[in-house]
Structure 1
C-alpha cells in the first residue's frame, strides 16, 4: 500500500505532510469572488432542482404501485405469523386494477435500472466530449415524457409498461455522468464536496416531496387517482428542462453572465480540459482507486435502493401504515438525509481547507461513517418489533449517516481525475445500478410468501453485510490523490501542450505558476 495515498487519520509521517502540502497548493477563494450567489453555485442550485425532478420521476412508482395493484390478489393465504396489528387509521388497499404478484412488482420496479445501466458509460464519454448541459437536460426531458405516458402503457399491457420503464432508465442514465462531467470543469478543489453534495441532495428532497404527494394523489380522485402521480411530476420535469436549457452552460468560459474574477478563479483552480486527448482506458480499468469508488458505489446503492424501492412495501405490509400516511412516513428518512448531505459536504470542505484532514483522509472518514451507520441501524430496525416510531427512527438514523457518502466516494471521481470525472461516474454508476434491479427481486423472493418482520430482517442483514464489505475495501483501496493519467505536461518554450498519455496536441493552453490558463 502506498503510504502517501492511504492514511486514514492525521499523523506526523512524511506522507501526511506531503499530501497536506498538496492540499495547501489549492487555489483559495480570492477577495471579491462571491460564493453562495456566484455563478458556480447557481449551477449547483439548477442541478439541485434537476435532481429533485430526476428522483421524483424515479420513485413515484414506488408509492403509486401500492394503489395500482389489487392487494387481495397478491396476498391470499400469505398472512405472516408475526404480522403487526393494523392501526386504527389503516385501510387495506385491495381495489387496484392490476393483478400483479410480488415477482411482477419486482420486475416493474426494477425495469428502470435495466435501461439505466446501458447509458452510464456512453453518457460520461459524450458529456466529456461535447459537454453535459444538453445531455443532462435531454435525459430528464426523455424521462419526463415517458412518465406522462406511463398510465397509458400500464393499462395497455404489462410488457409495454416494462418497455417504457426500461426506456425511461436509458434516458435518465446519462444524468449523473453528465453532471459529474460538468463539475469536473466548474468545481474548484476546495469547494468540490459542497458543490457536489448540494447538487445531488436534490435527489433526496425530490424523494421527500414525491412520496407523500404521491400518496395523497393516489388516495384522491384527481385525474383518476394514481395516474395523476405521473401526470403531475412529468409536467413539472418538463418545466425544469426549459429553465435548465436557458440558464445553464457547459463550462465557465461559455457562461454569458459569469464575472471575470470568478472565471479566473475557476480556471486557475482546475486543470484545463482538452477534448482531443485520448481517454486512458487501460489506466482507468486497472486503477485501484477507480475500483475502490466502484465497489463503494455498488455497496452504497445496495442499501440505498433497498430503502428507495422497497421501504413503502415494508411500511405497508409489515408496519401496517395507511397509504396516505405511508408517503409521508417513507419520506422522513430522505428529509433527514437531505439535511445530512448538505451539512457533511460543508464540513468536509471546511476540514480540508483548514488542513485538519487531507483529501484522502476526508473521503475515507466520511465514507466509513456513511456505511457503518446504516449497517447498524438497519439491523436494529428489524428488531424493534411493531413499534412504528422506533422503526422509522432507526431508518432515519441510517439515512442520516448515509448522507456522508456524498463527501465520501461520491466526490472522489473529481479528486482523482477531473478531466474524466464524467466517464468515471459512468463506470462506477454502472456497477452501482446493478442493485437497482437486483434488490427488488431479492426482496420479493424473501417476502412474497411471508411478508413478515422475520423475513424483512434478512433483507436488512444482507444490506448491512454489503455496507461492511464496502467500508473495508474502500479504506484499503481508495485515495484522494490526483492520478498521473489525469495530468498533462506543458512545453513552455514552444507553447505546446503535451499529454502524459497519447499524442501531443496544441490546445491553446500554457502553464503559469502551476496552473493551466487560457491565453
Structure 2
C-alpha cells in the first residue's frame, strides 16, 4: 500500500522538523505489515480507530481503579475494617502507582506504547477479576486487599506514560492537543460509569460484580487490539534491548538526560504538572466530604456526577481550541501557556469563590467551573512534554507523574490535617489556589515549546 507522505498525518501540513517520523504507519490497515513498532505518524483512518480504543481503555482503567473506593463501605462492614484500615487499603494503590511510571514510559519509548498498553491492560484486568477471590483465600482480607491494590497501582502506573509515548510518536503536533483532551475524557467517563453503573451493580449483585464488570470489558478490549490492530508478536525479549521506534527521532537519543534536566523549561513543566496534580487529587478526594459537611441534605449523585460530566466537553473544547490556534500559526509555547493559565489560573478564581458560596446551587456552579477549566491542562503542560522531548516523552512523563503522585498524597494529607485542626474549608481552598498560582507563574516565566532532545540543536526551529 503506497500512501503519499503529505496525506498521512492528522494535519494536511506536516513539518519534518516538528514531526520527525517520516514513515507511514499502516499497521491494522495492511495485513502485510508485521512490524507496527517500525511505523511513524498514524494515517487518519487508523488514528480514528486508535483514538476510540484508547478512550475506551482509559475509561475502563478508571472504572477498575475506582471499584475499590465505591465498594469500600460495603467491604468494610463485611470484613470489619476500621476507617484507618480502609484507608490503608485505598492508599496501597498509590504506592504501587509510583513505581512503574518511569519504567513504563521508557519501555514504551523503545518498543511502542501500544504494546505496553496491551500488556498492562491484560495484567490489571486479571488482577481486577481475581480481587474478589483474594478476599476469601484464607488469609486476612486486609492483607490480601492491600496486596491487590498495590499490584493494581503497579500495573496501571504505565498507562499514562505509555499514552504520552504513543501521542508523541504517532500523532502530528497540530493534533496532539485534541487527542490528549479526548483521552482525558476517558478518565471522567470512567468515574461516571463506576459512580452510576457501578453503584447499581453494587446494590443489585454485590460488591464482587463491580470488579468483574471492568475486568471482562478490558479483556474484550485487549483481544480486539491484539487481533485487529497489532501485527506480529506483542513483545519479544530482544525488543527491550533494541533501538526505539526507528524514525528521525533516533538520533535524538544521543542527547543525555543530564542535558534535559539542565533546562529550566523542563523543570518548569514538571513543577506545573506537580502543582496541578496536587490540587486535582485533593479536590477529587475531599469534594464529596465538603458537600456532605456543608450541605448535608444535598443529593449525592448531584455533586458526584455534575462536575465530572461538565469536565468532558470542557476538555474537548480545550483540545480543539489549542490545535486550531497552532494550525492558524500561533506559537506553540503561547498556546501551551494560555491553556495552562485557564487550567490553573482561572480555575483558582472559582476555587476561591467556593469559599464564599452560600447556596448549594452556587457551590455546584463554582466546582463545575473549577474542574471544567482545570481540564485545559490536557492541552497545556500535559502536551508540552511532546514538544520538548518526543523521543523520550513516555519516560519524561513518567518522571513527572511520579513526582506528582507523591506530592499529591502529601497535599491530600495536609488538607485533611487542616480541616481537622481548623474546621475550615476556606483555608484548604485558599491553599489549593496558591499552589496553582505559583505553578502557573513558574510555567509562564520559564516554559518553552522547542525541541530539546535532538543531538544537533541547530536543526531545531524554536517555536
TM-score (norm 1): 0.72
- Check if 1:476 corresponds to 2:445: yes
Contact 2:278 2:409 in 1 (8 A): no
> Which among 314, 320, 329 is matched to residue 340 of structure 1?
314
Give the 3 Å change call, closer, same or farther, for CA 200–229 of structure 1 in structure 2. Answer: same
- Check if 1:188 corresponds to 2:169: no
Q: State the SS of the aligned residue for 1:205.
A: helix
- State which structure, 1 or 2, has the greater radius of gyration over its C-alpha atoms: 1
Contact 1:133 1:245 in 2 (8 A): no
- Check if 1:170 corresponds to 2:138: no
- Check if 1:381 corresponds to 2:350: no
Pairing 1:485-496 to 2, within 5 Å after superposition: 486-488=453-455
Residue 420 of structure 1 aligns with which residue? 392
Structure 2 alignment gaps of length 5 or more: 1-13, 20-24, 26-40, 235-244
> Which among 57, 63, 67 is matched to residue 64 of structure 2?
57
Q: State the SS of the aligned residue for 2:267.
A: helix
Residue 22 of structure 2 aligns with which residue? none
> Which among 281, 284, 288 is matched to residue 312 of structure 1?
288
Question: Aligned partners of 1:290, 1:376: CA distance in 2, in Å?
Answer: 27
- Check if 1:362 corresponds to 2:369: no
In angstroms, what is the RMSD of aligned CA positions?
3.3
Give the 3 Å change call, closer, same or farther, for CA 68–388 of structure 1 in structure 2. Answer: farther
Residue 40 of structure 1 aligns with which residue? 47
Give the 3 Å change call, closer, same or farther, for CA 330–293 of structure 1 in structure 2. Answer: same
Question: Aligned partners of 1:160, 1:436: CA distance in 2, in Å?
Answer: 25
Give the 3 Å change call, closer, same or farther, for CA 438–248 of structure 1 in structure 2. Answer: farther
Give the 3 Å change call, closer, same or farther, for CA 193–116 of structure 1 in structure 2. Answer: same
Question: Aligned partners of 2:54, 2:303: CA distance in 1, in Å?
Answer: 26
Alpha-carbon offset, residue 26 of structure 1: 5.9
Give the 3 Å change call, closer, same or farther, for CA 108–432 of structure 1 in structure 2. Answer: same
Question: Aligned partners of 2:247, 2:122: CA distance in 1, in Å?
Answer: 31
Contact 1:26 1:190 in 2 (8 A): no
Alpha-carbon offset, residue 169 of structure 1: 0.7
> Which among 231, 249, 259 is matched to residue 212 of structure 2?
231
Residue 101 of structure 2 aligns with which residue? 120
Question: Aligned partners of 2:288, 2:215: CA distance in 1, in Å?
Answer: 21
Residue 274 of structure 1 aligns with which residue? 250
Contact 1:212 1:326 in 2 (8 A): no
Contact 1:128 1:275 in 2 (8 A): no
Question: Aligned partners of 1:210, 1:279: CA distance in 2, in Å?
Answer: 43
Give the 3 Å change call, closer, same or farther, for CA 180–480 of structure 1 in structure 2. Answer: same
Give the 3 Å change call, closer, same or farther, for CA 36–132 of structure 1 in structure 2. Answer: closer
- Check if 1:302 corresponds to 2:278: yes
Q: Deviations over 1:181-212 (max 9, x none)?
A: 11222111111211222223211221122222
Question: Aligned partners of 2:132, 2:183: CA distance in 1, in Å?
Answer: 30
Residue 245 of structure 1 aligns with which residue? 226
Count of residues in Structure 1 that have an aligned counterpart in Structure 2: 413
Structure 1 alignment gaps of length 5 or more: 1-21, 28-32, 71-95, 255-266, 490-499, 502-510, 515-519
Alpha-carbon offset, residue 283 of structure 1: 1.2
Alpha-carbon offset, residue 410 of structure 1: 0.5
- Check if 1:459 corresponds to 2:433: no
Question: Aligned partners of 1:68, 1:448: CA distance in 2, in Å?
Answer: 26
Q: Deviations over 1:371-409 (max 9, x none)?
A: 023322223223324x33222221111111111111100
Give the 3 Å change call, closer, same or farther, for CA 291–165 of structure 1 in structure 2. Answer: same
Alpha-carbon offset, residue 330 of structure 1: 1.1
Question: Aligned partners of 1:184, 1:292: CA distance in 2, in Å?
Answer: 20
Q: Which moved more, 1:232-241 or 1:398-407?
A: 232-241
Residue 434 of structure 1 aligns with which residue? 406
Contact 1:214 1:327 in 2 (8 A): no
Give the 3 Å change call, closer, same or farther, for CA 272–343 of structure 1 in structure 2. Answer: same
Residue 136 of structure 1 aligns with which residue? 117
Alpha-carbon offset, residue 133 of structure 1: 1.7
Contact 1:198 1:345 in 2 (8 A): yes
Question: Aligned partners of 2:211, 2:51: CA distance in 1, in Å?
Answer: 26
> Which among 159, 179, 188 is matched to residue 143 of structure 2?
159
Give the 3 Å change call, closer, same or farther, for CA 26–430 of structure 1 in structure 2. Answer: closer
TM-score (norm 2): 0.80
Residue 100 of structure 1 aligns with which residue? 82
Alpha-carbon offset, residue 158 of structure 1: 1.7
Question: Aligned partners of 1:276, 1:471: CA distance in 2, in Å?
Answer: 29
Give the structure with the larger helix fraction: 2
Q: Deviations over 1:23-66 (max 9, x none)?
A: 89868xxxxx9999621232122111111111112223333324
